[in-house]
A and B are shown apart, each in its own frame.
Chain A
Amino acid sequence: MNASQSEQIQNTEEGYPDFAKLTEMREELGDHFLLVMQHFQSGMLARPQKIRQAFQNNNPEQLALEGHSFKSLCRQLGLSQMETLSVTLESMGRSGQLDGAAPLIERLLAYGLQAHCELQKYCLACGKPSSVQ
């Protein structure tokens, strides 16, 4: 396997949350679990979009804020590479240096989409349909 393939696999695998954490959360939250998951799912799509919007608007301060918020969500779900990307983007936003941010944001968007799908599948497997698309 060459470096490119390895990177591709690493990227493909990144959007998978820590399912042990999800199970733990499900036990902790009981009937509230699916409601919380709906927010988490929509966050996986919306928050990277907000980061990209801040970048496109050349607003480093907003980018830092969005990166900071998204970092916590990723950490909660055990999405370590997404957390690292968010931290990096937060740092870039705080420094006002956004050079090189674009590909990181695109990775974050792709991972977010994957994570959204995985959360949705997990919720469906819980026995009730998830309403967030």
Chain B
Amino acid sequence: MASILVVDDDACSRTYLVALLNRAGYRVQEACSGLEGLEQVARGAIDLIITDIFMPTMDGLELLAVLDKLHPTNKVIAMSGGGLAMDRKLALHAAHKFGAVALIRKPFNVREVIRTVATALQGVA
């Protein structure tokens, strides 16, 4: 069973995504900030990280940059509601630049989430 870490400061989005992934059969951990996510990644045994882009303290792009240096083999999916600070295209571009394999959009489309996660985890037992 693949293990996924969900990083999002918004408890509502995080809980929703964790529930979706649990129901889809994945083992899921959660973190409410980039820093907390980094700590969990350092403990190992995570196949995929799904991180929000806009977060206080350490945002998703900063997390991606650190992961790219410290844990380059970890697969990462970025998620964003788009919005004013950065539109979806820019978010996708930035996320790819920092090593994200895909982008999930908020609000969540369940089929899109499950498909994107399954694609990212191809080859993981």
Contacts and interface: CB of A to CB of B under 8 A. Distances in A.
A32 B84 contact: no
A71 B81 contact: yes
Contacts of A72: 10, 12-13, 81, 106-107
Interface string B14-33: 01100110110000000000
A29 B20 contact: yes
Interface stretch (A2-10, A87-95, A105-113, A121-129): A87-95
Contacts of B106: 72, 75-76
**Contact-size category for A:** 20 to 34
Contacts of A29: 16, 19-20, 23
A35 B81 contact: no
A28 B84 contact: no
Instruction: Kindly name the residue among B12, B54, B56, B81 whose own CB sees the greatest number of chain A CB atoms within 10 A.
Output: B12
Interface string A34-53: 01100110010000000000
B1 interface: no
A94 B83 CA distance: 12
A3 B15 CA distance: 40
17 contacts: A25-B16, A29-B19, A29-B20, A32-B20, A35-B19, A36-B12, A36-B19, A39-B15, A43-B12, A69-B10, A71-B83, A73-B10, A75-B81, A76-B13, A76-B106, A91-B84, A94-B84
Interface of B: 9-13, 15-16, 19-20, 22-23, 54, 56, 81, 83-85, 106-108, 110
